[in-house]
Amino acid sequence: MTKTKRFYLSTALPYVNAQPHIGFALEAIQADVVARYHRFLGEDVFFLTGTDENSLKNVKAAEKTGVSVKELVDRNAAEFYKLKQALNLSFDDFIRTSEKRHRLGVEKLWTACQKDIYKKKYKGLYCVGCEEFYKESELDNGLCPEHKIKPEVVEEENFFFRLSKYQERLKEIIEKDKIEIIPPERKREILGVIKQGLEDICISRSVKRAHGWGIRTPGDNSQIVWVWFDALANYITALGYADKEPRFQKFWQENENKLHIIGKGISRFHCLYWPAILLSAGLSLPKTIFIHGYITVGKEKMSKSLGNVVSPFDLVEKYGTDPVRYFFLREIPPSEDGDFSIERFESRYNTDLANGLGNLTSRVIALSKKLKINPSLKKEFGDKEVRIEVERAYQNSFKALEHFSFNKSLEEIWSLINFSDRYIERERPWKTKNKQVIGNLLFILSEIAMMLKVFLPEASKRILKQIETGESKPLFPRI
């Protein structure tokens, strides 16, 4: 009996200092497509997302808002969970780092790494936005390169992790693709960081600086676990690492197919710190780390201070879930920055969804109804030319998806839509009344719907239903 292939994937955990914006929506949608694709292949998939709740950013946001930290994180975590329905996400678990199962797992991981943890006094430049210390040489005119703010000077006694000890092993692991970093330019960046030399990292903060919020370090109540040591652990704490649950063994320890989908700003944490912690604890490593770019608005990175944050909920309310999914998958380059504007969104909507997919669906259903074609016969249709086109689209679309080229994968499906439009104009079935041609079109449309299952699940269902019933309703009304 063939053993079902296992596949585990996760998003990064967003901070809950504010409500969700489309930057995280992009990552969640990309991950959802990957999860649906591997389920489509018949694999046993576990898809994890959640929220990062133990950061100083959350503490400061709560203070600014005038509410308790717990109230703030509870409120905003609930908003992130609502993305499940708004974006039609199919995640299997949602981990909050304020949960008991997570705290117990972090404590266990800390203890497992004890041989590589030591305490010392330290003075450094700390960016609360990144939750990371920076060297002077890493700053951009004295500012954090990511958030363009001046780091705080922090001086206290903290725990450190011996990252330097794992420099050569990490270099070998990444060079030989034991952890495959996609795209290749991100791999080169990480190897460049290693080449400069890895220094030990601070993995705790004083209770005073943390304002008492977070997970206490095992054996020392004066310290709080650094938010990144804490947050990275979610990938195993959600699987039951603390209690040695079978799911942890199944999807982490005994599974080669482990994928993290993250943004480019946190690549160092995932590609260096996380593997080193796992090596120290004697645990299995992830197999692949896919790193996407940012969504910009007017060529600027989204920022609350700039006032250019876009809510995914507002977009979904106005345009619908599948159009939002489609835009981010088709218009935003998978591993590069991509710009968002309402004008670009509506142009893509009208051109590809209303005039493309929607128009083809309504034409084919109307023709099949007029000629009384039995939808159940569609599998008997599909002449050689048509089947070659469908097979080509399947192969090319899935090949692109294997490399996280979501836009190219969709382009292949839309090439089949364009072929269908040309086929209709060439054969003119409304004049010839040729049932074979209509049957071919129904066959193509049903295959398009099947390929779209992972990208636009609701549109896929509606197309298949229209084929079955012969009743045509607009998929995407023009705007």
**What secondary structure does DSSP assign to 81-138, as a single string?**
HTHHHHTT---SEEEETTSHHHHHHHHHHHHHTGGGEEEEEEEEEEETTTTEEE-GGG
In a domain, residue 465? The reply is: yes
Cβ–Cβ < 8 Å for 129, 305: no
Q: Residue 470 above 60 pLDDT?
A: yes
Does residue 353 lie in a domain region? yes
Contact partners, residue 333, CB within 8 Å, separation at least 6: 293, 407
Over residues 344-363, the mean pLDDT reads 97
DSSP SS3 for 310: coil
Q: pLDDT above 90 covers what percent of the chain?
A: 81
Q: Give the count of domains, the chain.
A: 1
Residue 52's pLDDT is what?
A: 97
Amino acid letter, 178: K
> What kind and span of H or E run contains 235?
helix 234-237
Confidence of residue 383 (pLDDT cuts 50, 70, 90): confident
Task: Give the Cα-Cα-Cα angle 368, 369, 371 (nearest 5 degrees).
Answer: 65
Residue 415 lies in a domain: yes
What string of DSSP letters covers 396-439? HHHHHHHTT-HHHHHHHHHHHHHHHHHHHHHH-HHHH--HHHHH
Quickly state the pLDDT bin for 1 (edges 50, 70, 90).
very low
CATH number at residue 436: 1.10.730.10
Q: Is residue 62 part of a domain?
A: no
Confidence of residue 288 (pLDDT cuts 50, 70, 90): very high
Task: Return the pLDDT at 463.
Answer: 96
With a cut of 90, say whether residue 204 has pLDDT above it.
Answer: yes
pLDDT of residue 339: 94
Banded pLDDT at 443 (limits 50, 70, 90): very high
CA distance readout (Å), 408 to 253, 288, 368, 440, 448: 33, 20, 31, 25, 15
- Cα(190)–Cα(167) distance, integer angstroms: 12
Q: Is residue 401 part of a domain?
A: yes
> Average per-residue pLDDT in the chain?
93
Q: Which of 45, 40, 53 is nearest to 10 (CA)?
A: 45
Which residue do the tokens 């989204």 mark? 302
pLDDT at position 299, please?
77
CB-CB contact of 48 with 240 (8 Å): no
- State yes or no: pLDDT of 79 exceeds 90: yes
Q: Determine contact, residues 459/323, Cβ cutoff 8 Å.
A: no
Stretch 278-292: mean pLDDT, rounded?
Answer: 98
Q: How many CA atoms lie within 13 A of 356 on its CB side?
A: 20
Note the pLDDT of residue 128.
63
pLDDT in tens, 9-60: 999 999 999 999 999 999 999 999 999 999 999 999 999 999 999 998 899 9
Whether residue 126 has pLDDT greater than 90 = no
- Statement: residue 274 has pLDDT above 80: yes
Confidence of residue 147 (pLDDT cuts 50, 70, 90): low
Residue range 206-228: average pLDDT?
Answer: 94
| Distance from chain centroid for Cα 185 | 19
> Could you list the residue range(s) of the whole structural domain that residue 421 is in?
344-469
Look up residue 194 and give its two tokens: 């290693």
pLDDT of residue 379: 58
The pLDDT value recorded for residue 209 is 87
User: Would 349 be classed as within a structural domain?
Assistant: yes
| Cα gap 407→155, rounded to integer Å | 47
Please spell the DSSP secondary structure of 39-63, one letter per residue: HHTT-EEEEEEEEB--SHHHHHHHH
User: Where are the extended beta strands (E) located within 128-203?
Assistant: 132-134, 152-161, 180-182, 201-202
**To the nearest 5 percent, what fractions of the chain are helix, strand and coil?**
55, 15, 30
Give the model confidence (pLDDT) of 103-116 as tens digits: 999 999 999 999 99
pLDDT of 221 higher than 70: yes
- Rounded to 5 degrees, φ, ψ at 160 are -125, 155
CA–CA distance, 469 with 226 (Å, rounded to integer):
57
Alpha-carbon distances of 318 from 142, 150, 304, 313, 404, rounded to whole Å = 42, 38, 22, 9, 28
- Domain-located, residue 45: no
Query: How confident is the model at residue 444, as a pLDDT?
Result: 94
Q: Is residue 452 part of a domain?
A: yes
